[in-house]
Amino acid sequence: MSVARTVANAGSGAAARLLSAALGLALIVMMTRLWDADNLGRFVVAYSWFQLLQLVPLLGLHFELAREAAADAEAVRPQLAAAALLSLVCALPTAALLVGVGALLYPSELLPALALAAVALIPTAPITVAEMTLLGRERLGVVALVNVGESVLRCLVLCGLIVAGAGVLTVLGAFVVLRGVALALYLADPVVRHATAPRAATVAVARSQLARAPVLLAVLVLSSTFSRIDVALLPLFLDLEDVGIYGIAARLYDLCLMIPAVLVMALLPVFTRLDVPCKSRMEMLARLVLRYALGTGVPLALIAAWLIGPTLAIVFGPRFAAAADAFRLLLVATLVTGVNQLMSCALLARNLQRLELPCLAIGCAVLLASIAVLAPRYGITGAGMAVLAGTIAQCVLRERLLRRQGGIALARGELAGPVLGGLAALLIVFAGAGGAWVYPMALGTYGGLLLALRGVRRGDADLLRSLLTTERQPASTP
């Protein structure tokens, strides 16, 4: 693995996600400008459920497939083919489950939108297998190309429908069709067709995957629940207009989460190769990446928090400025989530994904309890508080498990600069209560502490190059 290959993978993934995010943002702006609160609220709830359940048909096997493909691309072909068939079979009951849950929880006017979101899960199941196949082969460029193509079509078609006066059901119907187009594009790739051809699947492989699925599926369900349940549950405590306003903050939060997600996708094959024989190298790489991720992430989050109030009013409309405080809390959650994702990547590379289960369970428990307590009292800001509380709970437990059972210690003195600097900046922001001087002072304090505590060091570039050019190591388990 070379530095250039890793940078290319991360760069293509980041570029595609940023472009897709920009197009998605344009679509959301169109919705906020031309739809009423009811249409926007229904779309936000339905799309949140789609995002929550889109990986469920693959039974939690997605990252395991990518890891195995990275270790031995040809040998994993039966697993990929069996996973493609299983995902299609499991997509149908998953879709039925969504409609059933919607009938129990929500008023009848939400059910048609939820039904269309359920149908969209069916083509999404094999799409996920195709993406994991290409991820394991380190062909993120193909994934990026398809994602961008679908995003462009989605933006053009859905914006056109909204301008023409279409409502949420027509827009969601078009979304289903475009998911089918994305599947066709993936199947046009010969690598995907070869790896997922049904003839390569065997009953024995499918049984093995089903045997592993319970723990992996539990991890996935908890992970998806944690990432999407805030929007899905808010209609139980707030009206649809408030849900729509919070949906803008949640959508922007999703866009922010793309940055650490791209980094983790690029690092997973690297961590897999730096497994047990080079565990110390994997640990050094994780700490180096974390130091620079926080070092750049904290000032970016401070700048975004500074500008978000007027930006929301200008871009989405004055009523959406009410989402500013919730989004500021979600910015802090983004930084913590980046740390969580890096630690999850390290656990997966060491075949310790079972440790994700207690981390996600405690995170979901804290999130659900916090939403029930804080949302009725503080509205959409309370929802942001709940997400942050659950994210921090996950981070604390995950670091402890990674250190004690994974043998990897990330919390070392070399992280003092970005961590203490970030905490000091956060205290200044909250103590300043929105004063004009707050964010410049927070940025200055952060920069001073980062430099004083050696958050940036000579030789880091040489160390990174040395770690990424390590010869491929055989995979093993602890």
**339 neighbors 290 (Cβ within 8 angstroms):** yes
Give the Å distances, CA to CA, from 198 to 56, 202, 260: 20, 9, 34
Of 7-21, 67-81, 429-443, give the range with the top mean pLDDT: 429-443
With a cut of 90, say whether residue 195 has pLDDT above it: no
pLDDT-derived band at 438 (thresholds 50, 70, 90) equals: confident
Between 259 and 3, the more confident residue is: 259
- Find the range with the poorest average confidence among 124-133, 249-258, 265-274: 265-274
User: Who has greater pLDDT, 385 or 17?
Assistant: 385
pTM score, two decimals? Answer: 0.75
| 100 Cβ neighbours under 8 A, 6+ residues apart | none
Note whether 384 and 322 are within 8 A (CB): no
Q: What is the pLDDT of residue 13?
A: 57
Question: What is the token pair recorded at 96?
Answer: 């039925």
pLDDT score of 134: 82
Taking alpha carbons only, the member of 322, 192, 316 closest to residue 246 is: 322
Q: Which contacts (CB < 8 Å, 24+ apart) does range 90-96 have?
A: 90/56, 90/57, 90/58, 90/59, 90/125, 91/57, 91/121, 91/122, 91/124, 91/125, 92/122, 94/53, 94/56, 94/57, 94/118, 94/121, 95/119, 95/121, 95/122
How far, in Å, CA of 249 to CA of 431, rounded? 23
Q: Are 287 and 209 in contact (CB under 8 A)?
A: no
Which of 290-294, 312-316, 346-350 shows the lowest mean pLDDT across its residues?
346-350
CA distance 402 to 343: 7
Contact in structure between 282 and 271 (CB atoms under 8 Å): yes
Residue 58 identity (one-letter amino acid): L
Higher-pLDDT residue of 94, 281: 94
Decide: 372 and 428 in contact? Cβ < 8 Å: no
- pLDDT of 287: 77
Side chain identity at residue 156, one-letter code? L
What's the CA gap between 227 and 387, in Å, rounded? Answer: 8
Answer for the pair 407, 279: CB distance below 8 angstroms, yes or no. Answer: yes
Which of 367, 213, 267, 269 shows the shortest CA–CA distance to 73? 269
Q: How confident is the model at residue 278 (pLDDT cuts 50, 70, 90)?
A: low
| pLDDT the model gives residue 266 | 67
The predicted pLDDT at position 65 comes to: 75
Does residue 332 surpass a pLDDT of 80?
Answer: yes
Q: Is the pLDDT of residue 294 over 70?
A: yes
Of the pLDDT bands very low, low, confident and very high (cuts 50, 70, 90), residue 85 is: confident
| pLDDT for the residue numbered 333 | 94
Q: Counting Cβ atoms within 10 Å, is residue 408 exposed (0-12), middle (13-18) or buried (19+)?
A: buried
Indicate if the pLDDT at residue 23 is higher than 80.
yes
Q: What is the pLDDT of residues 129-184, one digit of tens each?
A: 888 888 767 677 788 888 888 889 999 999 999 999 999 999 999 999 999 999 99
Please determine, for residue 1, whether its predicted confidence score (pLDDT) is greater than 50.
no
Q: What is the mean pLDDT of residues 354-379?
A: 91
Residue for token pair 């990547």: 345
- Residue 473: pLDDT band with limits 50, 70, 90: very low
Which of 175-179, 219-223, 339-343 has the weakest average pLDDT?
Answer: 219-223
Question: Is the distance from CB of 331 to CB of 304 less than 8 angstroms?
Answer: yes
pLDDT for res 270: 67
- State residue 476's pLDDT score: 42
* Cα radius of gyration rounded to whole Å, the chain: 22
Q: Are 162 and 224 in contact (CB under 8 A)?
A: no
Q: How far is CA 203 from CA 73, 74, 102, 174, in A?
A: 20, 18, 34, 36
pLDDT in tens, 405-435: 877 777 666 777 788 888 888 888 887 766 6
Higher pLDDT, 31 or 142: 31
Mean per-residue pLDDT for 102-109? 88
For residue 276, the model assigns a pLDDT of 47
CA distances from 153 to 119, 128, 165, 224, 441 (A): 19, 19, 18, 26, 43
Mapping DSSP to helix (H, G, I), strand (E, B) and coil, where does residue 114 land? helix
| Residue 463 token pair | 């160390």
| pLDDT the model gives residue 469 | 65
Structure tokens at 310: 């007027």
The pLDDT mean for the chain works out to 82
Joined tokens for residue 12: 């293509």
């602890």: which residue's tokens?
Answer: 478
The pLDDT value recorded for residue 20 is: 78
pLDDT at 471 over 60: no
CB atoms within 10 A of CB 395: 20
Q: Which among 54, 231, 63 is positioned nearest to 132, based on CA atoms?
A: 63
Q: Give the whole-angstrom CA distance, residue 299 versus residue 292.
A: 12
* Whether the predicted pLDDT of 96 surpasses 90: yes
